[in-house]
């Protein structure tokens, strides 16, 4: 398993991974143009030289970032790729001095295991304005906000 920054050659694979899980409503869709324009914010998770996972970090403000589009192919789950990518994005956030990261997710136990705690979406109006307002299922999505304050999280 190897976690690394995404490269232009990864764009079609990342787009296909996100599209596949977006069709199952596990993550929001991301157009390939958006992936290309934000490529420096993405990481890929490899197994045997194949990219089988991806995730991105969106910086909303100097103080707040979101982990989004975190996906691992079905065939590669429970091998540490997802947690490896979250740790890599936490490292990116630290190097950019972003003190707080959140995610909106159904994979709550996964994030709790990484030191996040349950929060409330209303603490993240940036997210609501950017994504939730456009979402057809809005508050019925069954997703929970989770947050980590990096100054208090010494494990990463």
Which residues of this protein are in contact with ligand COA, per CB under 6 A?
Answer: 21, 26-27, 70-72, 77-83, 103, 105-107, 109-110, 113
Q: What is the DSSP string of 38-70?
A: TGGGEEEEEETTEEEEEEEEEEEETTEEEEEEE
Least Å from the CB of residue 86 to ligand COA: 8
Q: Which is nearer to ligand COA, 78 or 140 (CB)?
A: 78
Least Å from the CB of residue 78 to ligand COA: 4
Q: Which is nearer to ligand COA, 70 or 132 (CB)?
A: 70
What residue number has its CB nearest to ligand COA?
82
Give the DSSP H or E segment for 144.
Answer: strand 144-149
- In degrees to the nearest 10, what's the CA dihedral of 93, 94, 99, 104? 30
> Under a CB-based contact definition with an 8 Å cutoff, are residues 42 and 26 in contact?
no
- Going by their DSSP bridges, the two strands 64-72 and 100-105 should be labelled as parallel
d(CA 151, CA 97): 10
> Under a CB-based contact definition with an 8 Å cutoff, are residues 65 and 50 in contact?
no
Least Å from the CB of residue 48 to ligand COA: 15
Q: Which is nearer to ligand COA, 8 or 48 (CB)?
A: 48
Q: Which is nearer to ligand COA, 8 or 114 (CB)?
A: 114
Q: Which is nearer to ligand COA, 8 or 46 (CB)?
A: 46
Least Å from the CB of residue 9 to ligand COA: 22
Residues belonging to the chain: 156
Least Å from the CB of residue 134 to ligand COA: 17
């Amino acid at each position: 398993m190897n976690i690394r920054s995404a490269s232009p050659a990864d764009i079609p694979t990342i787009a296909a991974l996100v599209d596949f899980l977006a069709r199952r409503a596990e993550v929001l869709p991301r157009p390939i143009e958006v992936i290309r324009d934000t490529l420096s914010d993405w990481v890929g998770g490899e197994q045997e030289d194949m990219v089988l996972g991806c995730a991105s970090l969106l910086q909303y403000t100097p103080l707040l970032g979101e982990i989004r589009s975190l996906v691992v192919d079905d065939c590669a789950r429970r091998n540490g790729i997802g947690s490896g990518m979250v740790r890599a994005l936490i490292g990116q956030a630290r190097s950019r001095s972003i003190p707080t990261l959140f995610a909106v997710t159904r994979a709550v136990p996964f994030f709790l295991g990484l030191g996040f705690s349950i929060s409330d979406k209303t603490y993240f109006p940036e997210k609501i304005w950017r994504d939730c307002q456009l979402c057809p299922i809005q508050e019925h999505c069954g997703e929970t906000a989770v947050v980590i304050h990096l100054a208090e999280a010494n494990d990463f």
